[in-house]
Amino acid sequence: MALTASSGKKYKAAVASYDREALFTPAEATEIVKKCATAKFDESVEVAVRLGVDPRKADQMIRGTVALPSGTGKTVRIAVFANGEAAQAARDAGADLVGSDDLAAEIEKGNMDFDLAIATPDLMPLVGRLGRVLGPRGLMPNPKTGTVTQDVARAVGEFKGGKVEYRTDRYGNVHVPIGKASFSAADLTNNLLAVLDEIQRAKPAAAKGKYLRKVSIASTMGPGVKIDTNRLKPETA
């Protein structure tokens, strides 16, 4: 997004308001991020974690979900691949799109008005044919994230209620949304700690050396604020 003169001044003022090279506690960092979020819209807040893993090795990739105790602050549109009773249960739970062959046909036409896809196991052969469309967008259902399940109603409820996915990218980084700038600093901190605890819990046995290399948080238009990893819960071996 291009910065206007006004937004450019706000960004410079935000950068000048704290020491960008300093390391802060999670609580301190969320306070700074809130003060730096000066856009006219409610900015999203995201944590970025640089992990000590080799993403080229399958046994060092991490992927999963974490429930944010204070929610995400945004509406999540969910598509569910299911038939019969499971389809009705998904609708009752608040799924935005539900179907099987008809839903697949809409997706093949380019109708992708959803943020998350969930599927029952029996429909994964159908969903698999959409891999070229869903995969690049990170929308492919996966058992590791709870998006391939017979209990679609529960999954819909959890993701609507604040569960989010995380996964390492090709460089060993993990990016996870932790709320909105309008959240209280306490709520953002609680969400941040939940994410960091989960990422530490998911540490691959094959990962050697320091696992949490760098951690920072930022709002959509704000600068990054570095977190002192030595002041987090100790890493598990």
Instruction: Please state the domain extents for the chain.
Output: 19-72+163-231, 78-161
Please tell me the distance from the alpha carbon of residue 34 to that of residue 212, in angstroms, as a whole number: 24
Q: What is the pLDDT along the chain (237 residues), one digit of tens a residue?
A: 444 444 577 777 766 777 788 999 999 999 999 999 988 999 999 999 999 999 889 899 898 999 999 999 988 999 999 999 999 999 999 999 999 999 999 999 998 999 999 999 999 999 999 999 999 988 999 998 899 999 999 999 999 999 999 999 989 999 999 999 999 999 999 999 999 999 999 999 998 889 999 999 999 998 899 999 988 866 544
Q: How far apart, in Å, are the Cα atoms of 39 and each of 144, 176, 186, 221?
A: 36, 20, 21, 7
User: CATH second-level architecture of 19-72+163-231?
Assistant: 2-Layer Sandwich (3.30)
- The CA distance from 34 to 182, in Å, is 8
pTM assigned to the model: 0.80
CATH topology of domain 78-161: Rossmann fold (3.40.50)
